[in-house]
Structure 1
Amino acid sequence: MTSATRSLTLELYAVAIILAGSLYCLPAAKAGVVYRLDQTHASAGETIVVRAILFNDTQNELNWVPPKNLVLQWRSETGQAIRSLAYLDTAPSQAHVPVNNFVQSAWRAVVPKGVEGLQAVNIEGQPALLALDTSPLEKSPVAGTPANVPVVDAGAARTGQQRDPALPDNVVAATGASVRSGPAVAQQTTSAPPSAFDTFRNSLSPYEPIYFDVGTKGGANARFQLSFKYRLFTPADPENPAFIDHMYLGYTQTSLWDLAGNSSPFVDTTYNPSLFWHADALWQNEDKKWLLGLSTGIEHKSNGKGGTDSRSLNDGFVEPQFNYRLDGGSTLTFAPRIKAYFGTSQNPDYAGYTGHVDWKLRWAQDNGLVLTGLYRQGSQGHATQIEAAWPLRRTFLNMNGYLHVQYFNGYGETLLGYNQKYDSQIRVGLSLVP
């Protein structure tokens, strides 16, 4: 090992030790409920929907039971008040809300007789004031009338002026709004179709873990992985996707890099494209603690080399994902990937060293520690991989990503050396997706 490489390795370990010694919890925030009306206009006798969204931005999981009824106060411009009930859409049940997640509930209410004009609607006991226009739509001065006026520069009126001046046309046009008039509140406006880049970005998501780790056993070396999946079809109804909407293209690339050798060569790289069907939640129980997901498809692996160093194989796989929400805000996942190999003429004994099942176990705290384990058992060898990740936002660095530690022992760390046993190796680095 060169002195420069040794120095770089020591610096990386020093950073890792500093990170590990600086973990702390951020102060807890306070979760809150936001209410809104699904409609802007409804007349007496018509049904409206009151929707509540609870966002959990605390440090722990929340349990929330929406009330069966809400008391609504209807107040007119003259101060006349009417009280009525809103009824929960579904039977009340406790919702488990992970950190940085949300849950929503809906209640239905009939607009009472006697309300007229613009109504301020309050959910009794909540600091929320909502607006609903109850006038006949064709005569409504609020919800049914276009705003045939320019956009003003609010607060820019000079002393003596009764109104704020209009903004320049180019400033208003840059927002995508009409310069001279705006639509009525009740009128549906159409948004511009997403750009090609937006469509691509919205269809792309993480797949396998993404990390870059450095170790020193046998000389300075690095192991890193990139992985993503691309959704092939955009659901017409996101809440009720069709079967074909669950189809994905996946790609994972894993490399072992010799940092100590002359010219720092790559030992081997595995290129792993795949086509699969995936659903996060095929089934869940009533209290939403148990959740079953599924992935199934085909994949190809190759190291892109020729001659005696060439390695490639294909497999079809089925991977059920059993998830259990634990009290305290964490999830335990057991996801065995069962594989059937085909097209392995270059390395027919591959399954003997890696087996037909990837036994995967994962425990993840919400906004906290993530532990994962992988075990493979073949007739001629086995492999064990254990990983730990801690969010760097919860360290003094306050940065994105995770401090990542990976342990590996056994066969199959590279496709080139699938039949060679690797001694225990510990690497430390950065993970973007643990």
Structure 2
Amino acid sequence: MHCSLLSARLTLGVALAVGSLLACDPTYAGISYKLSQTQAAPGDIIKITAVLFNDTDTAMDWTAPKTLVVQWRGPNGQATRSMAYLAEGQGPFTVPVNNFVQISWRATVPSEVQGLQAVNVEGDSTLLALDASQPGQGQVAAAPAIGPVVDAGKAGDTGAPDPALPSGDVIAAGAPLHAGPAPASTPAPVNTASSGFENFRNSLQPYEPVYFAVGNHDGRFARYQISLKYRLFRPQDPSRPDFIDNFYLGYTQTALWDLSSDSSPFVDTSFKPSVFWRKDALWQSQDKQWFAGLQTGIEHESNGKAKDDSRSLNFFYVQPEFNYRLSGGSTLTFSPRVKTYFGVADNPDYADYYGHVDWKLRWAQDNGLVLTGLYRDGDGSRYATQVEAAWPLRRTFINMNGYLYAQYTKGYGDTLLNYNHKTGSQFRIGLALIP
């Protein structure tokens, strides 16, 4: 049984290493930049913030560049170039369809720039304004706008200035009549590393949830899962991948671990390699609030045991995914998986307990709570239920990576070995790397 404990430690090491391997494909859809302030003197540190929005038809894995080159252009047109450095803890990111992430870099205002500057990230056509003057001396950021609010364009071609708007219109807009206060996509550089390890890492992506959870019911049992998928082909144009670019290899491993018995043996472990085709958005509504995707492939599952304890099966599945993007910043996903089995000589009655459809519903807030429900309906009164909840630990006083994870299970199939044995209600709590 000492080997079981050693195997457990090794497997858990693999699970913890998953987080470091999820630096994925450095591609993106739309990215926009802004400055954190409108005025800064030479030598001051400013923050450049970017919002990366994934409006493509597939989930996007992106590693932010560690440095950006920034251009500063003064009133005389002379350009100065400097470097901006990525803030700590910025990625890598996995951005679902119609979701976004925010990234920031820190830059120092060069000593030779003075006055009003047009600033841009090198390679991006957007110009940002910064008044590089000493505090209180800026001609733009420190100066109020003196004069009435004009009715722009009403002067026409007469050469006269635009007339002032009626005072009632200005007051209705919440503005003073005669003076206002001071003013309070071309791709950006990407990581082009091409080593063998970088190519491998950029093709490796999260798949099913990755977690470790412990519960106490007729003994203390832990359940853990590790899961990854590997993209077989790298698209030439990440925003418009070809059909073949959507093929993946998948691997998921789930185990039930008895922590209360002597030597802490494993009850059973399921090994699930697969090959599949996936696209997150085959169709999107015009406002992109609704989108539908598809995953289809073949999966093998076995417990790696021999003789009477051997369990294995194969199935082909089709899994449509229907997504609704809620206005509050969350996504509701309904993804039934329809399965047909083959090669089930070790357990030919498996479908009687697990059925042919996995009904799955998921609600995920942006950087917040994730709730998932799974239900399988077999013949007669046979069923399996699993409910999961995850909350990001970065939004707690712990402020660490990962999620606080809770899992509830009941019914048949807690393990592949005992797929035909019904278990009672089981609640577990632990840590998830991927919810």
TM-score by length of 1: 0.60
Tell me, yes or no, if the aligned pair for 1:292 and 1:321 is still in contact at 8 Å: yes
- 1:309 is displaced (CA, Å) by 0.4
Tell me, yes or no, if the aligned pair for 1:99 and 1:329 is still in contact at 8 Å: no
Q: Secondary structure at the match of 1:352?
A: helix
Structure 1 363/120 Cα, relative in aligned 2: closer, same or farther at 3 Å? Answer: closer
Tell me, yes or no, if the aligned pair for 1:35 and 1:128 is still in contact at 8 Å: no
Structure 1 348/101 Cα, relative in aligned 2: closer, same or farther at 3 Å? Answer: farther
Q: Partner residue of 1:230?
A: 230
Q: Partner residue of 1:423?
A: 424
- 1:413 is displaced (CA, Å) by 1.2
Q: Partner residue of 1:249?
A: 249
Q: Partner residue of 1:385?
A: 386
For each residue in 1:71-95, what CA deviation from the matched residue of structure 2 results, as whole angstroms up to 9, or x when unmatched? Answer: xxx997389xxxxxxxxxxxxxxxx
Q: Provide the C-alpha distance between the structure 2 equivalents of 1:415 and 1:98, rounded to a whole number of angstroms.
A: 36
Q: Secondary structure at the match of 1:308?
A: helix
- 1:6-405 counterparts in 2 under 5 A? 33-34=32-33, 54-55=51-52, 77=76, 98=99, 100=101, 127=129, 194-380=194-380, 381-405=382-406
Tell me, yes or no, if the aligned pair for 2:118 and 2:128 is still in contact at 8 Å: no
Opposite residue 127 of structure 1, the aligned amino acid is A
Any runs of at least 4 consecutive aligned residues in structure 1 with deviations exceeding 6 A, and if so which?
A: 119-125, 189-192
Structure 1 355/75 Cα, relative in aligned 2: closer, same or farther at 3 Å? Answer: same
Tell me, yes or no, if the aligned pair for 1:358 and 1:376 is still in contact at 8 Å: yes
- 1:291 is displaced (CA, Å) by 1.2
Opposite residue 129 of structure 2, the aligned amino acid is P
For each residue in 1:380-422, what CA deviation from the matched residue of structure 2 results, as whole angstroms up to 9, or x when unmatched? Answer: 4101100110000011100000000000000011100000001
Structure 1 409/121 Cα, relative in aligned 2: closer, same or farther at 3 Å? Answer: closer
Structure 1 369/308 Cα, relative in aligned 2: closer, same or farther at 3 Å? Answer: same
Structure 1 404/78 Cα, relative in aligned 2: closer, same or farther at 3 Å? Answer: closer
For each residue in 1:336-380, what CA deviation from the matched residue of structure 2 results, as whole angstroms up to 9, or x when unmatched? Answer: 011000001111100000010100000001111100000000104
Tell me, yes or no, if the aligned pair for 1:330 and 1:364 is still in contact at 8 Å: yes
Greater mean deviation of Cα atoms: 273-282 or 192-201: 192-201
For each residue in 1:284-334, what CA deviation from the matched residue of structure 2 results, as whole angstroms up to 9, or x when unmatched? Answer: 111111111111000100000001000000000111111111011000000
Q: Provide the C-alpha distance between the structure 2 equivalents of 1:395 and 1:313, rounded to a whole number of angstroms.
A: 42
Q: Provide the C-alpha distance between the structure 1 equivalents of 2:190 and 2:414, rounded to a whole number of angstroms.
A: 52
- 1:98 is displaced (CA, Å) by 3.9
- 1:192 is displaced (CA, Å) by 6.9
Q: Provide the C-alpha distance between the structure 2 equivalents of 1:228 and 1:201, rounded to a whole number of angstroms.
A: 11
Structure 1 97/345 Cα, relative in aligned 2: closer, same or farther at 3 Å? Answer: closer
- 1:97 is displaced (CA, Å) by 6.5
Tell me, yes or no, if the aligned pair for 2:118 and 2:129 is still in contact at 8 Å: no
Structure 1 262/285 Cα, relative in aligned 2: closer, same or farther at 3 Å? Answer: same
Q: Partner residue of 2:407?
A: 406
> RMSD of aligned C-alpha atoms?
3.1
Opposite residue 401 of structure 1, the aligned amino acid is G
Q: Secondary structure at the match of 1:292?
A: strand
Q: Provide the C-alpha distance between the structure 2 equivalents of 1:300 and 1:203, rounded to a whole number of angstroms.
A: 22
Q: Provide the C-alpha distance between the structure 1 equivalents of 2:75 and 2:285, rounded to a whole number of angstroms.
A: 44
Structure 1 328/311 Cα, relative in aligned 2: closer, same or farther at 3 Å? Answer: same
Opposite residue 338 of structure 2, the aligned amino acid is I
Count of residues paired in the alignment: 280
- 1:283 is displaced (CA, Å) by 1.4
Q: Partner residue of 1:61?
A: none
Q: Secondary structure at the match of 1:200?
A: helix
Q: Provide the C-alpha distance between the structure 1 equivalents of 2:378 and 2:248, rounded to a whole number of angstroms.
A: 29
Q: Provide the C-alpha distance between the structure 2 equivalents of 1:268 and 1:191, rounded to a whole number of angstroms.
A: 42
- 1:240 is displaced (CA, Å) by 1.4
Tell me, yes or no, if the aligned pair for 2:119 and 2:127 is still in contact at 8 Å: no
Q: Percent identity?
A: 60
Q: Provide the C-alpha distance between the structure 2 equivalents of 1:291 and 1:352, rounded to a whole number of angstroms.
A: 33
Greater mean deviation of Cα atoms: 280-289 or 309-318: 280-289
Opposite residue 427 of structure 1, the aligned amino acid is R
- 1:237 is displaced (CA, Å) by 1.3
Opposite residue 349 of structure 1, the aligned amino acid is D
Greater mean deviation of Cα atoms: 189-198 or 379-388: 189-198
Tell me, yes or no, if the aligned pair for 1:330 and 1:363 is still in contact at 8 Å: yes
Opposite residue 361 of structure 1, the aligned amino acid is L
Opposite residue 328 of structure 1, the aligned amino acid is G
Q: Provide the C-alpha distance between the structure 2 equivalents of 1:389 and 1:274, rounded to a whole number of angstroms.
A: 26
Q: Provide the C-alpha distance between the structure 1 equivalents of 2:191 and 2:368, rounded to a whole number of angstroms.
A: 38
Tell me, yes or no, if the aligned pair for 2:204 and 2:231 is still in contact at 8 Å: yes
Q: Structure 1 regions of 5+ residues with no counterpart?
A: 1-31, 37-51, 57-73, 80-95, 103-118, 130-188
Tell me, yes or no, if the aligned pair for 1:220 and 1:258 is still in contact at 8 Å: yes
